[in-house]
Chains A and B, each alone.
Chain A
């Protein structure tokens, strides 16, 4: 285990060390983050990184392969554009967590605020608490699982991402509808919950998805432009 203390070394050195990790060193911990921005970004190796403390903007962005655990909360844009790997946040996440992610798993044990999973493209996101408004806006692919409640306009302009919510949904966005929970969805959900280490029963969730009414331009709507 290699320890990187941000009281002694700066952010660039921390990221350079993590980005340059090869073969032998596979476990890292970062201390004294003090809310720094862009910690542990752009990693591309199967390493295990633990961040002790709360991080600021864009924590664990553009991750590939690495497993990054944050023992605190994260600011806006956490785990943006993840390709693969795993990001686990023990606390809360601010706006647009997991935005545009193509793959991998993002687990937020606390709450996520607005725009969680905006434009997600294949990432799986599991939130232990609630999510804020406009979550999964234009989400194209992947799964968003919420054990708590969802805010306004969930899944607005949704494409093919699947949304599973256990609690209440304040309102659904344009073209987002509740859909039947079929056996394959229960299986999928059970797998996601187990991978995220969440204790919840798939049957308690409702599934939401795209009504696919907005996929093509309708000439009747021409007046709106």
Chain B
């Protein structure tokens, strides 16, 4: 039966709703296709992130896929960094019986664990009350409450180098303004997700994923999205297949940008009211909520620029 939609929702409410949703959160992503820009990754991503401040001034976060170390990189966070990281290196080195490098960056620290000490090391960190933000060969995650510029400065993200990265500026709608509510969310090694939108079936999906062993740490809807994608990859899906699955299994508004150790993917829900634009040159693929974030990228004037189609998966892997 056909029913005129006007009866349910006036046109002005529909447009207003579109607008409100369009101003919530900004996301950026940059995937380098050539080595030459690697030293500039942090610098380029920082500019992109700061440009998206209007869209999300309450917290910001960035995941950088940087140099691989001789071991597993664990990013931890503490609200009381001065005391939390005090003596951490010595304690870990003593307990694990091997040298454990610790690099402290403001409220975060990157700890390089030898691979065979993974479980023991993570247990030690949790015992000390440190929040584990992410684990991986290449991925480091930095996120905090505050203006994107301040967050980027605190961690020195401008100086970081790497192959790809994703970032998020948050205007919270679905959970509290806290460090843990900020994006990116990592739910498996070297995998992380940023999201613009709001999921409506996240509680149901959270319970379903928990039964499968993918337990989330927060009440946040995006973390469920991340855990869903990680669960699909764990079952053998490619990044592309896992993102395709979000279109069937996740309900709500979303533009997702996902990072993996070697890849970078984008998908928008079928309604696609969350804005998105992409740019590609011989050197990089870039994603942003708005074109403004691309304005300073090298070669942007001749880049191929397009709006990703609704319900269509885009991904690049090296």
Known: A35-B290, A96-B15, A99-B15. A157 touches B305 (CB 8 A): no
Chain A binder among B2-10, B121-129, B150-158, B233-241: B2-10
User: A132 near B: Cβ within 8 Å?
Assistant: yes
Q: Judging by beta carbons under 8 Å apart, are B7 and A138 in contact? A: no
How far apart are the CA atoms of A111 and B294 in the complex, in Å? 20
Question: When the two chains form their complex, are residues A73 and B291 in contact, meaning their CB atoms are under 8 A apart?
Answer: yes
A114 at the interface (CB under 8 A from B): yes
- B11 near A119 with CB under 8 A, answer yes
- Complex CA gap A174/B6 in Å reads 12
Binding site of A, secondary structure by majority: helix, strand, loop or mixed?
loop
With a cutoff of 8 Å between Cβ atoms, the chain A residues found around residue B273 in the complex are 95, 114
Q: How big is the A interface, by class?
A: 35 or more
Write the A65-105 contact mask toward B (1 if CB under 8 angstroms, else 0). Answer: 00000000101100000000000000110111001100000
Contact bitstring A128-157, B, C-beta under 8 A = 1, else 0: 000011000110000000000000000011
**In the complex, which of the residues A34, A99, A157, A224 contacts B295, with contact meaning CB atoms closer than 8 Å?**
A34
CB distance from A42 to the nearest CB of B (A): 17
Q: Per-residue CB proximity of B286-314 to A under 8 Å, as 1/0?
A: 00001111110000000001110110000
Q: When the two chains form their complex, are residues B291 and A75 in contact, meaning their CB atoms are under 8 A apart?
A: yes
Question: Does B22 reach chain A (CB closer than 8 Å)?
Answer: yes
B3, A75: Cβ atoms closer than 8 Å: no
Interface 0/1 of A189-225, CB less than 8 Å to B: 0000000000000000000000001100100010011
CB pair A76–B15 under 8 Å, yes or no, is no
Which residue of B3, B270, B290, B295 contacts A214 across the interface (Cβ within 8 Å)? B3
Contacts of B5 in A (CB 8 A): 137-138, 156-157, 174
- Residues 266-292 (chain B) with a chain A CB within 8 angstroms: 270-273, 275, 277, 290-292
Q: Given A94-B277, A132-B310, are A213 and B290 also a contact pair (CB < 8 Å)?
A: no
Interface size class for chain B? 20 to 34
Given contacts A35-B291, A114-B310, A224-B1, contact A94 B15 (CB under 8 A): no
Determine the distance from Cα of A34 to Cα of B272 in the docked complex, in whole angstroms. 24
Task: Judge whether B292 and A56 touch: CB under 8 Å.
Answer: yes
Q: What residues of B have a CB within 8 angstroms of the CB of A95 in the complex?
A: 18, 272-273, 275
Give the shortest distance, in Å, between A168 (CB) and chain B (any CB). 15
Q: Give chain B nearest CB distance to A34 CB in angstroms.
A: 4
Instruction: Establish whether residues A35 and B2, one from each chain, have CB atoms under 8 Å apart when the complex forms.
Output: no
Give A157-212 interface residues, CB cut-off 8 Å to B.
157, 174-175
With CB as the reference atom, state the residue of chain B lying closest to A224. Answer: B3
CB A174 to nearest CB in B, in angstroms, measures 4
Residue of B nearest to A73 (CB): B305
Q: What is the minimal beta-carbon distance from B125 to any residue of chain A, in angstroms?
A: 42
Q: Is A113 interfacial (CB 8 A cutoff)?
A: yes
Knowing A113-B307, A174-B4, the reply to whether A96 touches B18 (Cβ < 8 A) is yes
A54 to B307, CA, bound (A): 13
A138 with B6, Cβ < 8 A, contacts A75-B290, A95-B273 known:
yes
Q: Is the CB of A92 within 8 A of B307?
A: yes
Q: Pick from B6, B275, B295: contact of A75, CB below 8 A.
A: B275
**What A residues does B271 contact at CB under 8 A?**
114
CB atoms of A54 and B291 under 8 A apart:
yes
A52 to B47, CA, bound (A): 22
CB distance from A160 to the nearest CB of B (A): 14
**Residue in A closest to B294 when the chains form the complex, CB atoms:** A35
Chain B neighbourhood of A111, CB < 8 A: 307
Task: Looking at the assembled complex, report how far the CB atom of B265 sits from the nearest CB atom of chain A, in whole angstroms.
Answer: 20
Question: Is A125 interfacial (CB-CB < 8 Å)?
Answer: no
Q: Which residues of A contact B15 (CB under 8 A)?
A: 96, 99-100, 118-119
- Please indicate the chain A residues that have their CB under 8 angstroms from the CB of B306 in the complex: 92
Contact of A174 among B3, B18, B294 (CB under 8 A): B3
B3 near A94: Cβ-Cβ < 8 Å: no
Which residues of chain A have C-beta atoms less than 8 A from B277's C-beta? 75, 94
Contacts of A118 in B (CB 8 A): 11, 14-15
Determine the distance from Cα of A92 to Cα of B304 in the docked complex, in whole angstroms. Answer: 12
Taking the closest CB of chain B, its distance from the CB of A110, in whole angstroms, is 9
Is the beta-carbon distance between B310 and A214 smaller than 8 angstroms? no
Residue in A closest to B3 when the chains form the complex, CB atoms: A224
Shortest Cβ gap from B270 to chain A (Å): 8
Other than the given A75-B277, A94-B307, A156-B5, 20 more pairs (CB < 8 A) read: A34-B295, A35-B294, A54-B305, A57-B290, A73-B291, A76-B275, A92-B306, A95-B272, A95-B275, A96-B18, A111-B307, A113-B272, A113-B307, A114-B272, A114-B310, A132-B310, A138-B5, A138-B11, A174-B2, A225-B7
Residues of B that sit less than 8 Å from A by CB: 1-7, 11, 14-15, 18, 22, 270-273, 275, 277, 290-295, 305-307, 309-310
Q: Chain A interface (Cβ within 8 Å of chain B)?
A: 34-36, 54, 56-57, 73, 75-76, 91-92, 94-96, 99-100, 111, 113-115, 118-119, 132-133, 137-138, 156-157, 174-175, 213-214, 217, 221, 224-225
